[in-house]
Structure 1
C-alpha cells in the first residue's frame, strides 16, 4: 500500500478505537476502510485483521474502565466465557452463511434500539436494579454471550451497541457500567473470532499490529471521555452510532 493509504487506515483505526471504547461500533469505520484500501484481499482476511486491531483496542479500553467502574462479575464473567464460544462459532460459519440475508433483520433490531433509547431518555441514566431477577440475569447472559457474540463472529459491526443495550434494557445498568461490562465481553468475542480466523490463515499480522496500536490510542481517549462525561454522553454517542449503522446497512441492502 502507498504511504497515504497506511496513514488513512491508521487514522480510521484510532477513530474506531474511540467509538468502540465509548459504546461499540468501531467496525462500522475500520472494516469498510479495509475493504476500500485492500480490495484484492479475501474478505475473511480483512475480517481477521480487523479483529486483531479490535481486540487490542477493546482490551485497552476494558482495563481503563475496570480501574474506575466496579464490574458485576456474576454477569460479566459467565457472559464473557460464553462469548468466546459464540463468536468462534459465528466466525467458523462466516464463509458458509450470507450476511446479506441477516442484514434486514439486523436493521429492524437497530431501529428498535434507536426507538427505545429515544423514547426512554431515563434508561441508562442511572442504575435501576430493582427489577433484576435471576431469570433476567440468565436471559442477559444468554442474549449477550450467545446471540450477540455469534453475530460478532459472523458479521461484527455494532456488537458493542447490542451488548450495551442488553445490559441496560434487561439488567438496568447505567450506560457507563454497561459500556464497561460490554468491553470485557467484547474482548472475548473478538478473541474467539480472531482464533478461528488465525487458524485459517486469515490474518495480516503486520497490518493488524499497526492498526492495533492506533486503536489503543483512540480507545484510551474514548474510555476517559466516557468516564468523565458520564451516561448522558454515552447515550448520545449510542444514538449516533445506531443511526450510522442503520444508514450503512440500508445502503448495502437497498442502494449498494
Structure 2
C-alpha cells in the first residue's frame, strides 16, 4: 500500500472495485471504472496502476467464472480455446504495455464502442437466443482468433475487455447474451492471469492496494453474476446497452478534455 494514501482514497477505491466487479460480471467493462480510480492514487505510475488493476480484476473474474459455470454451464468447447489464445495474447500485450502510451488507445476504443452501441440498438433481436454460425474446427479457430486479438488488447491496456468479449461472442459466434457473458468471464480470467504472469516478476504489482480493491471487486462480481443468471439474456442486453452508453460518454469526455488541454 502506498504510504501517503489516505482513508478517503481507499474508500473510493473500494467503491470503484465493487462497482467494477458488478459491471464486469454482467456485461464487462469494469476496468473503465477501476483503472481510472487507481490512477488517482498519489505516486502510482501508469504501469503500476495497470498491473494492480489486473490483480483486483482477477479476483472478481474468478468469482464470476465459478458462479456462471455452476449455474449456466457455458460451452467449454468455445471457452477453452478462446481462453488459451487470449492468455497468450495478454502475455504478449503486457510485454509491450510499458512501451506504448495508453492515451493513443482512447479515441480508438471510443470509435469501437460507438459502433458496438449502434450495432446492438439496430438489431433488437441480437443475442436473444443462441444461434451458432459455425460448428467444429471453424468455430473453435474463430473463437481462438478472437481470443488472441482481445487478449492482446487486454495486456496492453485492458479496460473494456469484457465488453469486447461479449459483443464478439454475440455478434460473431452467435451466442445469446447470458452464455456470452459466462464464456467472457472465463476468457477474461485467462487474460488477467496472462498479464499477471508478466507483471508480477517485474515487481509492478502493488499487492496491498490490489488485494483491497480485489476484495471489493470479488463481492461485486458475485452479486452481478447471480443477478445476470437470475434475470437472463434480456436483462444482460439492457445492461450491456446502458453500460456501453455510459462508457461512450465517459471516454468521449476524456477525448474532448485532452483536445482542449
* TM-score range normalised by the length of the shorter chain: over 0.9
Structure 1 residue 111 corresponds to structure 2 residue 114: yes
For the Cα contact (< 8 Å) 1:153–1:189, is it kept in 2? Answer: yes
Separation (CA, whole Å) in 1 of partners of 2:72 and 2:19: 23
Q: Which has the larger displacement, 95-104 or 84-93? A: 95-104
The residue aligned with 2:204 is 202
**TM, length-normalised to structure 1:** 0.94
Structure 1 residue 239 corresponds to structure 2 residue 241: yes
Q: Deviations over 1:162-213 (max 9, x none)?
A: 1011111111111000000000000000011122111111111011111111
SS of residue matched to 1:121: coil
The equivalent position to 1:8 in structure 2, one of 5, 12, 19, is: 12
For the Cα contact (< 8 Å) 2:81–2:143, is it kept in 1? Answer: no
Aligned positions of 1:128-139 closer than 5 A: 128-129=131-132, 131-133=133-135, 134-139=137-142
Over the aligned positions, Cα root-mean-square deviation in angstroms equals: 1.4
Q: Which aligned segments of 4 or more residues in structure 1 are displaced greater than 3 angstroms?
A: 133-137
Q: CA deviation at 1:39?
A: 3.3
Structure 1 residue 102 corresponds to structure 2 residue 120: no
**TM, length-normalised to structure 2:** 0.93
Q: CA deviation at 1:75?
A: 1.1
The residue aligned with 1:222 is 224
Aligned positions of 1:1-256 closer than 5 A: 1-36=5-40, 38-129=41-132, 131-133=133-135, 134-143=137-146, 145-256=147-258
Separation (CA, whole Å) in 2 of partners of 1:138 and 1:165: 17
Q: Deviations over 1:82-129 (max 9, x none)?
A: 111101111111111123333322222111110111011111111113
Q: CA deviation at 1:255?
A: 1.6
